[in-house]
Structure 1
């Protein structure tokens, strides 16, 4: 297991340009532009193109002198709202901040697109503009989650594909492992399939077939450790956990809901009496560590894997530092050329599930 690198601790000097949808997110340009400023301050090789209402973006950008020479603005007259359906968003792709930021990736003007906007619209636009890469049937949404282990956890798919066959799951495993190698610096990520039990006979035919294909793929740079149950997701026993989008989305929402439940329960307990308040003061360093560990801003930046281009989804309510972290994830994926990594890994699999001889 490799060491976990810092968010921006890289030795490369290749310039990277990121296309940022400055109108996405709950707070709009104020948060997105400040996040861009934090990102370029941490990375001397980074420049950013800001897409959206030019006048509003310029007002925010004036607050951060570092962006004067490290960013540019492209005016987009329309914004994709959280209520817009994917079909509506696609019709506005040519003049919306989200659509134009994705188009910049397609034309090569930017290495990746980052948006905190409507997830469904972002996926639909990205698939239409960038298409899936060779060897991948469906893109998947992957995110980093905290664990009790030495590394974060890559969980996918988180909702892009509600139903998946064994071929899809194997492809997700390859993409998730390439993501873990890139973002967490792991040479052979530990990969497991989410299941209702750890025994080889448990689960659906699709899960068992995918597991067998991954066991047979000895040339893959992964350590396949079989199945894992939902109650072990945060224990640090895997670096990549693969599932279909239906189960993955439920697992993610359950994890997020449990984290909020624990935080609210502690807050209520500490406020229940004078003695509890004194106990809070004594235990504050530990509770602050817990809050930091569970803060989604520290793990911000879900990625659409499997496209001919890199698109990163930021939390809609992300803080400026959360936006900067999402941009940092995008930069790492650009520099590692993750599309090439996935293509090479897929080529090493000889299973008929991948080569087309069976499902």
Structure 2
């Protein structure tokens, strides 16, 4: 099975809430957006080929590998690991391990995907734990990246520094910013606020002016979406809560507007007048436009699509993966970590 040397993205076609209907549609949508990439689809071959045919896919760019089993949302990570060789998710990640593909995408069980990815790809040299990072909308000129979003509930100083390095490299690759602004999530902006791990990480990052990033200090939760920074670094416990709060607030705002605009004849007229603005708001808050959480710190690229994503959301996740391949994310992370260690040779960073 060969694709003439072009980079290839492996896709778990059975992942997500809908399965092949959405995952395959997202891949087909991407064939025009990223012409330099081919696709390797894993899952029920009959169902996948039926979707490809119905959507008029360029079959020269798609290979299909049949997998008899699917990992469900109820499967525990330990169960998923034992079924790597027979499941669509397991074989999707294994394609990156064996070099058949340069990135893997799945919309399936997050815990299972992380467990399989860590076992198959291992963590990069210099990385203690992988982290989940995702692009989030802001009021600024560009999106921002936040990590960790749930992979590690407790983090020490070394973890936070590694997350900062990985997050900055991610922004340099996806948003193409030369010196991303990096901040640590904290309960205040004063230097004395926060845990010992956060304060020590801030001290070390503040002195790391040789790294391709600009450390701006601390940021509070209410400032995350203001566009003041490009990377927000935190532990997975706080990060996941912050993410869910942001998502809930976005749904609250859109539902509140919907209720307000349908409460009376006058409000309905107001909706018609303000519709361009509300459409822009809906587009900005639509999670499908920011789909694609990346498992940073592994010896290979793995992107987690939201289980409820539509075809456009899957296509966005695929575009993220393509950019990370093109900009050699893992190389950038390795170089920056080596640079940090060289400046702290012989020193013990709290772990």
TM-score interval, smaller chain: over 0.9
Name 1:323's counterpart in structure 2. Answer: 314
Asked if 1 retains the 8 angstrom alpha-carbon contact of 2:145 and 2:231, the reply is yes
1:8 corresponding residue in structure 2: none
Pairing 1:44–2:26 present: no
Q: Which residue of 1 aligns with 2:231?
A: 240
Candidates 270, 273, 286, aligned match of 1:282? 273
Q: Using the TM superposition, give the Cα deviation of residue 64 of structure 1 relative to its aligned residue in structure 2, in angstroms.
A: 2.7
Counterpart pick for 1:222 among 193, 202, 213? 213
- Say whether the 8 Å CA contact 2:157–2:349 is kept in structure 1: no
Distance 1:237 1:344, change over 3 A: same
Asked if 2 retains the 8 angstrom alpha-carbon contact of 1:50 and 1:73, the reply is yes
Shift of 1:351: 8.1
Alpha carbons of structure 1 residues 192 and 300: separation in structure 2 relative to 1, 3 Å: same
Asked whether the 8 Å contact 1:112–1:330 carries over to 2, the reply is: yes
2:18 is aligned with 1:30: no
Q: Where do 1:49-60 residues align within 5 Å? A: 49-60=40-51
What secondary structure, in the 3-state scheme, does the structure 1 residue paired with 2:132 have? strand
Aligned residue in 2 for 1:185: 176
Cα distance in 2 for residues equivalent to 1:44 and 1:241: 32
Aligned partners of 1:90 and 1:121 also within 8 Å? yes
Deviations 1:189-224 (A, max 9, x none): 000000000011100000000001101112100000
What residue in structure 2 maps to residue 76 of structure 1? Answer: 67
**RMSD of aligned C-alpha atoms?**
1.3
CA–CA distance in structure 2, aligned partners of residues 248 and 358 of structure 1: 23
What are the Cα deviations for residues 80-116 of structure 1, in whole angstroms up to 9, with x where unaligned? 1011111111111111000000000000110000000
The 1-side partners of 2:347 and 2:300 are apart by 25
In structure 2, distance between residues paired with 1:338 and 1:355: 27
Deviation of 1:256 (Å): 0.1
Q: CA deviation at 1:358?
A: 3.3
Q: Contact conserved, 2:183 with 2:233, CA < 8 A, in 1?
A: yes
- Give the drift of 1:66: 2.9
- Structure 2: gaps spanning 5 or more residues: none
Structure 1 residue matching 2:340: 3-state secondary structure: coil
Give the drift of 1:41. 1.6
2:57 to 63, 66, 70: 66
Q: Matched residues in 2 for 1:83 and 1:352: separation?
A: 45
- CA deviation profile, 1:159-184 (whole Å, cap 9, x unmatched): 00000000000000000000000000
Residue 107 of structure 1 is matched in structure 2 by 98
2:193 maps to what in 1?
A: 202
CA distance 1:140–1:355, shift in 2 (3 Å): farther
> What CA distance in whole angstroms lies between the structure 2 residues aligned with 1:350 and 1:58?
49
Whether 1:94 and 2:78 are equivalent positions in the alignment is no
Q: Quick check: 1:48–1:71 contact (8 Å CA) kept in 2?
A: yes
Which of the residues 288, 291, 295 maps onto 1:304?
Answer: 295
The CA deviation string for residues 274-325 of structure 1, in whole angstroms up to 9 with x for no partner, is 1011111111000000000000111011000000000000011111111111
- Structure 1 residue 353 displacement after superposition: 7.4
TM-score (norm 1): 0.94
Answer yes or no: is the 8 Å Cα contact 1:54–1:73 preserved in 2.
yes
**1:175 equivalent in structure 2:** 166
Aligned in 2, Cα 1:354/1:85: closer, same or farther, shift over 3 Å?
farther
**Structure 2 SS opposite 1:74:** strand
* Aligned residues between the structures: 346
> Cα offset for 1:15?
2.5
Structure 1, gaps ≥5 residues long: 1-13
How far did 1:46 drift? Answer: 1.2
Task: Using the TM superposition, give the Cα deviation of residue 47 of structure 1 relative to its aligned residue in structure 2, in angstroms.
Answer: 0.5
CA contact (8 A) 1:166 1:353 kept: no
- Could you say which residue in structure 1 is the equivalent of 2:116? 125
Deviation at 1:352, TM superposition (A): 8.4
Contact 2:166 2:333 in 1 (8 A): yes
Match in the other structure for 2:126: 135
8 A Cα contact 1:146 1:153, kept in partner: yes
SS in 2 for 1:317: coil
Label 1:245 to 1:64 Cα distance change in 2 as closer, same or farther (>3 A): same
Are the counterparts in 2 of residues 312 and 330 from structure 1 also a CA contact under 8 Å? Answer: yes
Q: Distance in 1 between matches of 2:199 and 2:344?
A: 12
